[in-house]
Amino acid sequence: MEEKKKGKRISGFWIARIIAILLFAGGLCMIIVNSVRDEESPALIICGCFSIVIGFIVLMFTLLPLMQKGMIKLNKKIIEENKEDLQDLSTTQSEIMSKGVKNISKAAAEGVQEAKDTKYCMYCGKEINTNSRFCQYCGKEQK
Ligand SMILES: [Zn+2]
């Protein structure tokens, strides 16, 4: 179903493209005929220019998807050619990222650990180890 739709769209583009080329060529012919003829015909020139402009615009529009396709192809090719470098880059990036995350989580864990392992002396208010019975600053016993 989808493939059929795609095929239809492409053929539509082709028809538009052919019409555009015909318009363009027709316009050129009109101008050439006009210049070859002894008598100048303004109508022919106007018609010719009009056809060329319309043909050109239609051609541009029909070529747009083709150009996009080309760009995508080019990008793919560039990516394909630099695959190893890109992989290296992404590996390095992810390494940096994971290192950063590790450091942050380590710091957080240490912080939690520290917070858990310390208390404040009942007498002098200084930070001391939870497990220590005596304050290392004032020497008083903790209850
Ligand atoms: Zn103390």
The per-residue pLDDT for range 110-129, each reduced to its tens digit, is 777 666 778 889 999 998 88
Domain limits of the chain? 2-96, 111-143
- What is the pLDDT averaged over residues 64-68? 83
Give CA–CA dist 16/39, Å, rounded: 34
CA of 109 to the centre of ligand 1 (A): 27
The pTM of the full predicted model, rounded to 2 decimals, is 0.43
Q: From the DSSP assignment, how many helices (H) and strands (E) are in the chain?
A: 3, 2
- What is the pLDDT averaged over residues 61-84? 87
Higher pLDDT, 9 or 1: 9
CA of 115 to the centre of ligand 1 (A): 18
CA of 116 to the centre of ligand 1 (A): 18
Tokens of 136: 């290392």
Q: What is the reported pLDDT for 6?
A: 56
CA of 127 to the centre of ligand 1 (A): 8
Tokens of 63: 């070529």
Residue 133 has pLDDT above 50, yes or no: yes
Q: Which residue has the tokens 């050109």?
A: 56
CA of 137 to the centre of ligand 1 (A): 5
Give CA–CA dist 138/126, Å, rounded: 9
